[in-house]
Amino acid sequence: MNAAFSFPLGAATTLAELAHDPHSRLALLRAHEPVSWLPELGGWLVTRRDLALSVMRDAETFTVDDPRFSTAQVVGPSMLSLDGERHTRHREPFNAPFRPRQVRDGFASFIERETDRLVTALEPAGAAELRRVFAGPLAVAVVTEALGLVGTSADTVLTWYDSIVRSVSDITAGNEAGPAGAAAYAQLRAAVEGTVADRGSSSLLLSAAGRLTLPEVASNAAVMMFGGIETTEAMITNALLQLLANPGQLALVRADFDLLDGAIEESLRLEPGAVVVDRYATRDIELGPASIRRGDPVTVSLAGANRDPAVFPDPDRFDVRRANARLQLAFAHGPHHCIAAHLARLETRIALQHLLERLPALRLDPDHPTTPHGLVFRKPSTLHVLWDRLA
């Protein structure tokens, strides 16, 4: 196959473009090459929603269980990088706390307290960079609470997370990961071992250790940790950016906080925190216009699928009243749908409502403009805001 001839748009697509400002390029691909070969990616990119669903639902044909899977190269096999019965065995011990009722009963009061503490510390300043002083610390605190990781500070967990995510991103981009990710994972694994050894705790990790080996508990803790932090930090930061950048939509939410749920789904649709999911073909198959061969990498663009005009009219518009926004695929789909999606939604809703209620005239800082960025994980690097200090 001459990819440049068969898929000229894919051949002209760069990873830099997809990391910096992907949406116009993804729209072109979706319209003309909905499954396209990207030489810079070294694989297929799926941008149309129906085809994306086909890939994510069919774990037998499009598997994560492949030595090239980037996350597994850093933390080893886990629920994220296994399929079939092995995937079920790894995931099942972690399921119970993340069902809708258990999330609200188990975490709402903790999230309220932690959010209140963080906002109280911010209030007097009148200005802040909210990604690092609010969204990140809140996400770390909740993940640490959810896992029951003992004897570890939020700052330490955040350092581990940064290093692991950087290594995963480097591998996905075709680069060699530095040693920091492996070192961070070794420290996390030691903390997991210490938590499991503390038989006096009621940790989720200790519970999981009754059904998984210690290395398996550690690898799953790692993917839940950086998945939970990344998903929620990005959700809070991206949703706040969308709201503050769209004053008319912000006014609707301020007048009716019931619209916050729609605002969160719409933000997830427009700027999912995790932009892509990777799969590998286990057999030759026709998918849309493409003849995929066994072993080919197949990357699903969640960002592309989420702006499919066949499902979402006027797809580039942020609309907190969009009736079908919950059809977005930011949490993936099929067997690998995000295990903590309900927790991330609850956390983001509480966080946004507290910020909007307690920081008067909350607005973007015009001296620090920002946009989301990232090839694999997408959010603003900073989110500087201002508000009116109370006299």
C-alpha to C-alpha distance for 183 and 265, rounded to whole angstroms? 36
Task: Answer whether 132's CB lies under 8 Å from 174's CB.
Answer: no
pLDDT of residue 230: 85
Length of the chain: 391
- Residue range 164-189: mean pLDDT, rounded: 85
Answer yes or no: is 212 within a domain: yes
Reading the block at residue 58, the tokens are 């069919």
Give dist(CA 15, CA 5) in Å, integer. 19
In this structure, the dihedral spanned by the alpha carbons of residues 105, 257, 235 and 109, taken in order and rounded to 10 degrees, is -20
Domain interval for residue 330 = 3-386
How far apart, in Å, do the first and last CA atoms of the chain sit?
Answer: 69
208-241: pLDDT as tens digits = 998 999 999 999 998 888 788 888 999 999 999 9
Is 317 in a helix, a strand, or coil? coil
What's residue 95's pLDDT? 92
Tell whether 340 is covered by a domain.
Answer: yes
Residue 56 falls inside a structural domain: yes
Range of weakest confidence among 71-80, 270-279, 357-366: 71-80
Task: For residue 210, count other CB atoms closer than 10 A to its CB.
Answer: 9
CATH number at residue 136: 1.10.630.10
Residue 127 covered by a domain: yes
Q: Number of folded domains in the chain?
A: 1
- Does residue 21 sit within a domain? yes
Contact 36, 290 (CB under 8 A): yes
Is residue 306 one of the residues assigned to a domain? yes
Rounded to an integer, the average pLDDT of 131-143 is: 94
pLDDT band (50, 70, 90) for residue 391: low
pLDDT tens column, 84-101 = 999 999 999 999 889 999
- CA atoms of 140 and 351, how far apart (whole Å): 13
Mean pLDDT of 287-303: 97
Q: Is residue 391 part of a domain?
A: no
pLDDT of residue 4: 55
CA distances from 366 to 127, 141, 149, 244 (A): 12, 30, 39, 11
